[in-house]
Structure 1
Amino acid sequence: MEEARNYYEEYGRQEGFWIRTRSSSKTRRRLDEVTSRQFVCAHEGKYVPKNTSQKASEENDERNLSEIENMKRTGKNCSMVKCGCKASMRIKLDRWSNKWKVSSFQDSHNHKPVTPERRMKMKSNRVMPKAAKILTETFHEVNLPIAKVPSILGGPHIGFNNRDCYNHLRNVRHRQLDGGDAQSVLTYFRKKQAENPQFFYAIQCDENGRAANFFWVDARSRMAYHYFGDVVTFDTTYRTNKYDMPFAPFTGVNHHLQSIQFGCALLQDETEVTFLWLFETWLEAMGGRHPVSIITDQDLAMKGAIAKIFPNTRHRLCL
């Protein structure tokens, strides 16, 4: 599927349009596997205003369409207007050969393609190469104007602009903890462990040796898990710190129907690799005892990590 999408996307770059995934389907026999997928031109479909009622009469529909046309002529020019383009490519999985094949291909567009001079600004070409990211970080460190990076690397013939450079620096700041803050966290953990050896903490570093993920649990929480750890809820919906790091608490309920903590974490991201490290570390802190049930939200990365670390635990989704 990925090779087919990359091929169609590259074809769109050459022809002056960009693509999106329209639909995917699964068979009854293969509920967990996609067997068909359709890629379409980004102009596929029809524009429908949010305040238009689905039960409007034919007269109202005609009036609404005329108002939409007036909005298009007088309003802000949008580069992503759906105009019912029929161009598409559908692929299907051949179960006999276990290979993906192109089942249909439509190459008729009802709109003008993007001119060659403007194709580098297309959505599919909006990519910032690694060299540009390194140069942006270097300019920032030596206090040089970040706005000069796009002009140095090609000016209008590249797929990023000044705003992409500033966005990259913002992401870097979120991922890199200040040295003082990281040291303060480590000092606090060491102090708590000196007060009580049952205090457990772990810090994961990235490939550059910088602190990325933090986990800690005190002695009282570890003891509480021994008695009330049959059902655990896990959530990562809190981002209230200046680094925008998800706060991830393990929570349970005691015999007084009160919420109790079984550990906490601050995470750099919410990928499966990060969740694998967190669940393995938490399981180590809890003496290797798996919960009977764990309740989370519908996160695919979290689901994959739970299936690998807690294979015998019932995984349920919250409302």
Structure 2
Amino acid sequence: MEKDIEVEELEKIDEDDEPIIGMSFDSDVDLFIYFKEYGKKKGFPVLRRTSRNDSDEILRNVTFACGRSGETRSKYVNILKLQPNAKTGCNARLGAGLGDNGKWTIQSLNLEHNHVLLTPTKSKYFRCNRSLNTYAKKKLDVNDRAGIRLCKNYQSLVTEVGGHENVTFIERDCRNHVQKERRLRLGDGDVAALQNYFMKVQVEDNRFYFSMQVDDERRLKNIFWAEPRNMEAYKEFGDVVTFDTTYLTNKYDMPFAPFVGVNHHEHSILFGCGLILHEDIETFTWLFRTWLSCMSNSAPNGIITDQGRAMKVAIQNVFPNTRHRWCLWHIMKKIPEKLGGYKEYRNINNVLHCAVYDSQSAAKFKETWHRMIIEYDLGDNEWLRSLYDERHHWVPCYLNNTFWARMSST
């Protein structure tokens, strides 16, 4: 049975309008909106669990799951401070695929939950259902600039719409928005001082390069700069570049984003750096294009980054012919978090390390990996499944045909 649902109809779903296998949608976004609205009415949160691309990097399959899927171990060791765990291992989920007709069709479905469902009046406060509209954002910004405290700022919005039952956000959402806008505004005179300093340096040496991106209201968003010695170093040693935004942030919580390589002494050398407001596709695309322009549009042969989807998409857009490698250290350090709950964790950890570090060929890696999955019943582990699907980005034996200057991590 096939049932097309238009985008404008997605928010008009009745509680009895159950999803069924065969339902089709124009896009994965439409499908997510539909399932999220269904979850809101039934009383459970929804999240995107997995997604799979084909060899042409076209999204082909997605899985949307109940927000209480998976299991999270409490990080608290003080029994007096234990907090309720929202993860219950719920297996309710919806799987869909992109067909030859361009439609997204529901292919698998499980609507059985292992936890109590909430009423719509409570489920609207799930993170997936909360949002700040443009008017609320504007009012929060104006009041914050006027020095009005956040609690009063939030209460004014609640009063204006007639009570908490009529708002689509909570005070925490307002706080996050205000803090982000404060980072955008920076401090009085800081932007002008920074620009004046860069211009002064450029007058002294016209080879100094800098670029500052602002939004529609002329507020600073992102900065990039590079000294002449950075550009000269890239000409000599720019075959491989590492890019990492996890190193540190400034007092405005703007991540520092350096482009780094190694010289013939295996010493780290800088190829330019930036301060960025967001770690999203748009920001990374701007930064990569700005850096590439500074480096005479000469893309590196290889780039090493952490395992971020936004970064991956931006690299595909800006450096289509550059080999992209994920930082192996970032991946391997997640093993205790992702697999520590298994009884056979020690054995799993040993086999996984052998598969990654000791496999001299792709065939050997596949053999060891599949043996591990079967022997320890890990077929349902989404993290391992996603890593295997992306093995060409991080497993050493798949990357040995590219020069990496003996680097494997940022």
TM-score when normalising by structure 1: 0.78
Letter in 1 for 2:99: D
Write the deviation string for residues 222-244 of structure 1: whole angstroms up to 9, x where unpaired: 22222222222222112331111
2:125 equivalent to 1:121: yes
**Does 1:146 find its partner at 2:153?**
yes
1:228-307, aligned counterparts within 5 Å? 228-307=237-316
Deviation at 1:279? 2.2
Superposed counterparts of 1:3-22, under 5 Å:
3-22=30-49
CA 1:124 to 1:213, structure 2 compared with 1: closer, same or farther past 3 Å?
A: closer
Q: Secondary structure at the match of 2:124?
A: helix
Report whether the alignment pairs 1:102 with 2:106: yes
The residue aligned with 2:135 is: 131
Unaligned runs of at least 5 residues, structure 1: 52-70
| Residues 1-319 of structure 1: pairs in structure 2 closer than 5 A | 1-24=28-51, 32-43=57-68, 78=84, 80=86, 82=88, 84=90, 87-95=92-100, 97-107=101-111, 112-144=116-148, 145-148=152-155, 149-157=157-165, 158-319=167-328
Shift of 1:283: 2.2
CA deviations on 1:112-158 (whole Å, 9 max, x unpaired) are 54235434334433222222121112222233432422232332212
Percent pairwise identity: 39
Q: CA offset at residue 245 of structure 1?
A: 0.9
User: Do the aligned partners of residues 217 and 50 (structure 1) sit closer, same or farther apart at CA in structure 2, a change above 3 Å counting?
Assistant: closer
CA contact (8 A) 2:243 2:259 kept: yes
| Residues 254/172 of structure 1: CA separation in 2 closer, same or farther (3 Å cut) | same
Q: Displacement of 1:10 after TM fit?
A: 0.9
One-letter identity of the residue aligned with 1:283: L
Aligned residue type for 1:37: V
Q: Is the 8 A contact 1:203 1:214 kept in 2?
A: yes
Q: 1:164 to 1:298 in 2, by over 3 A?
A: closer
Deviates more, 1:257-266 or 1:123-132: 123-132
Aligned-residue RMSD, C-alpha: 3.1
Distance 1:176 1:14, change over 3 A: same
> What CA distance in whole angstroms lies between the structure 2 residues aligned with 1:109 and 1:293?
45
SS in 2 for 1:222: helix
1:191-211: CA deviation from partner (whole Å, max 9, x where unpaired): 111211111111111122122
**How far apart in 2 are the matches of 1:41 and 1:276?**
32
Provide the secondary structure at the position in 2 that maps to 1:121: coil
Secondary structure of 2:297's counterpart equals: coil
Cα distance in 2, alignment partners of residues 25 and 203 from structure 1: 36
Q: Which residue of 2 aligns with 1:63?
A: none
Q: Which runs of 5+ in 2 are unaligned?
A: 1-27, 329-410
- What secondary structure does 2:189 align onto? helix
Shift in alpha-carbon separation, 1:179–1:100, aligned structure 2, 3 A: same
Give the TM-score, by structure 2 length. 0.62
Given residue 13 of structure 1, which amino acid in structure 2 is its aligned partner? K
